[in-house]
Structure 1
Amino acid sequence: MHAIAASSEPVHILRLPSDPGSVAAAREHVEVLCRKFGLDAFAPVQVVSELAGNAVEHAGMSGGLEVWVSIDPSYMWIEVVDFAPEFVPVLDTIEEPGEEQERGRGLLIARMLAERIEALVLDDRKALCACFPVSL
């Protein structure tokens, strides 16, 4: 997919099945890349965890998911791609759930930790994309 950060190289792609264990694999993928490039991993790892968890939960068994990471001298882009384009969250209207709710904070957390978060739909897939400033 890599539609947002098309000019950034290299792109590191991890393909995963759509099951809960893939969330940990997505976190590890991003953490390893952050270490490799000397970047603070906290926010990117938290955000990919939330985005991958949502992809597993909401996209179900519709073809797995992919984690695309690109890093250039100014930004790190993380894109979590799934094959269920019919479920696209409206990112501009994310509200904090009530205190009694145990779930529903993932996209709010992602929006707070990333500099920018976007949803992109292309035919049979969608990507939730998060951007983080870096200085290499």
Structure 2
Amino acid sequence: MHATAASSEPVHIVRLPSDPGSVAAAREHVEVLCRKFGFDAFAPVQVVSELAGNAVEHAGMRGGIEVWVSVEPGYLWIEVVDFAPEYVPALDHIAEPDDEQERGRGLLIALMLAERVEAQVLGDRKALCACFPTAG
């Protein structure tokens, strides 16, 4: 869905059901591809875990989720697509939760670990896209 990622080759897509077990499958998908392409997997795996968890929680059972991984010169893109376009986080207004709150840090983690995080809506779906530099 991301303009850059959509034109990159190759794009690796995995389709998963909207259930909590899909978060682990999303992490594994990203980790395997990072190893395949020789990239450090730590940040991409952490970010896809947070984005997939949010997609499963907020998209409910509508159509499952998709995890797209694409590589372009100098960058790795991770995109988590769901079918709940009405829930688009305002990424420039993410507040840190209180210390007592057990949840609500996922997007903050993504924003801290990725070079860039974007939200896009296309028809009946949305994507949260995270960009990671691949060269030192």
TM norm structure 2: 0.97
Q: Is the 1:2–1:68 contact (alpha carbons within 8 Å) kept by the matching residues of 2?
A: no
Q: Does 1:63 align with 2:63?
A: yes
RMSD of aligned residue pairs (Cα, Å): 1.2
Displacement of 1:7 in angstroms is: 2.3
The corresponding residue for 1:17 is 17
Counterparts of 1:84-123 in structure 2, within 5 Å, are 84-123=84-123
Q: Is the 2:5–2:72 contact (alpha carbons within 8 Å) kept by the matching residues of 1?
A: no
Residues in 2 aligned to 1:50 and 1:2: alpha-carbon distance in whole angstroms: 18
Match of 2:78, SS state, is: strand
Any stretches of 5+ residues in structure 1 without a counterpart? none
Residues in 1 aligned to 2:84 and 2:3: alpha-carbon distance in whole angstroms: 17
Displacement of 1:53 in angstroms is: 0.1
The corresponding residue for 1:41 is 41
TM norm structure 1: 0.97
Residues in 1 aligned to 2:54 and 2:4: alpha-carbon distance in whole angstroms: 20
Match of 2:97, SS state, is: coil
Pairs aligned (count): 136
Residues in 1 aligned to 2:9 and 2:2: alpha-carbon distance in whole angstroms: 11
Give the partner amino acid of 2:128: L
Any stretches of 5+ residues in structure 2 without a counterpart? none
* Runs of 4+ residues over 3 Å off in structure 1: 1-4
- Per-residue CA deviation, residues 39-60 of structure 1 (Å, 9 max, x unaligned), is 0000000000000000000000
Residues in 1 aligned to 2:65 and 2:6: alpha-carbon distance in whole angstroms: 19
Residues in 1 aligned to 2:72 and 2:2: alpha-carbon distance in whole angstroms: 14
Residues in 2 aligned to 1:20 and 1:91: alpha-carbon distance in whole angstroms: 23
